[in-house]
Amino acid sequence: MKDVRKLAKRWEEKSQSCVEQYFTQFQATEIPVANQIWQRAKDRFEESSGKVSTSNRDNVWIQASDEEDRRGGVVVLIGTTEAVTEAELVCKTLIKETEKLLKWEASIVTDHITKMKAVKLKILQLNNFPEKHPDVDIRLDVDNQSVDFKGQQALVQKAKIDVYETTNKLAEERVPLSRGKLSYLKSDKGRDHLEDSLKRKDIKVAFAVENEEMTILGQLFIDVKAAKDLLQQVVSESPIAIAEESRDLLTKQSFASLSTNLRQRLSVDIHIAKDKVWVVGPTEKVANASKDIKTYIT
């Protein structure tokens, strides 16, 4: 009987040791999370198990919950010691990353440049200026003549200075034009024709039509000169002299219909001044429209 008691005692001690040894393989850990970080990242903690290695992923349980007695939250990790240790590192890395992001966001500022000429902003667009400052959100608004910046203060200031420096050293040339050409280039069809012609030649300039001249701007003088030469090639103006005995033809409905057809079909401007009919537009189309008008008159 005495031996039985000894055996039972030994079995009890060994069983207890085995149970204790078994439970040493498991661990439970709590990670408190400050409120500002919690509000930003709480939905990501339970998803963080996906970043635990495959061998440990099924051996850990992660629960994120709000703290009742204080602002913020707590992340509870339960599982094997190895899995909990790895998951704890993943969660703490997430906390550090979120903290770093919040600090970065706190350093973000916005700034603006207003009343900048649209033609200068167009140059910045053509030369992909925002790409020079990838860490700053730069928005060029040609229609409202403004530039918006968003980013860290030092980087925003650097980008803003670069805008001023770039636009203040542009090459520029003023080109006197006839009233007919100025009127044509102020129209949507005229502006589109010239912009398309410049784009095909990869000439990065912008232009503005004011008063009795056109201003051409570019980062390089060679581009401005090339644009000036191209302008003379792609936009022409042709006067058609009308004999006195034929001038009454210009008042007829048939001429009005012909003019409307040519304007729409060839994207040219047609206007009458004294004893001439003037045709302005793309060089090759001006030639075709002039031919049709001459045929009508004769």
Q: Write out the H or E segment, with its range, that includes residue 59.
A: none
List the Cα angle 156/217/127 in 5-degree steps: 45
pLDDT of residue 105: 86
Place of tokens 């919950």: 65
Which residues 6+ apart lie within 8 Å of 171 measured at CB?
217, 218, 219, 220, 221, 223, 224
pTM: 0.67
State the burial class of residue 82 (Cβ atoms within 10 Å of its Cβ: 0-12, 13-18, 19+).
middle
Alpha carbons 234 and 232: distance in angstroms, whole number: 6
Q: Is the pLDDT of residue 21 over 70?
A: no
pLDDT of residue 12: 55
Q: Are 12 and 95 part of one and the same domain?
A: yes
Which residues 6+ apart lie within 8 Å of 8 measured at CB?
none
Number of other CB atoms surrounding residue 24 within 10 Å: 9
Cβ 124 vs Cβ 163: under 8 Å: yes
Average pLDDT over residues 138-158: 96
Strand order in the sheet with 213-218: 171-176, 213-218, 205-210
pLDDT of residue 294: 92
Q: Are 48 and 121 part of one and the same domain?
A: no
Average pLDDT over residues 254-270: 94
Q: Are 180 and 191 part of one and the same domain?
A: yes
Q: Are 115 and 162 part of one and the same domain?
A: yes
What are the tens digits of pLDDT across the range 191-229?
999 999 999 999 999 999 988 899 999 999 999 999 999
Q: How far, CA to CA in Å, does 84 sit from each of 49, 62, 290?
A: 10, 9, 86
Q: What is the CATH number of the domain that holds 97?
A: 3.30.1370.10
pLDDT of residue 3: 58
Q: Is the pLDDT of residue 61 over 90?
A: no
Q: Are 11 and 22 part of one and the same domain?
A: yes
Number of other CB atoms surrounding residue 228 within 10 Å: 16
pLDDT of residue 24: 60
State the burial class of residue 251 (Cβ atoms within 10 Å of its Cβ: 0-12, 13-18, 19+).
exposed
Number of other CB atoms surrounding residue 81 within 10 Å: 13
Q: Are 223 and 278 part of one and the same domain?
A: no
Q: Which of 66, 88, 106 is the C-terminal boundary of a domain?
A: 106
With pLDDT > 70 as the criterion, what percentage of the chain qualifies? 91
Number of domains in the chain: 4
Q: Which of 73, 90, 106 is the C-terminal boundary of a domain?
A: 106
pLDDT of residue 274: 80
Cβ 269 vs Cβ 263: under 8 Å: yes
Cβ 235 vs Cβ 185: under 8 Å: yes
Alpha carbons 220 and 230: distance in angstroms, whole number: 16
What are the tens digits of pLDDT across the range 101-111?
998 888 899 99
Owning domain of residue 74: 2-106
Structure tokens at 264: 């729409």
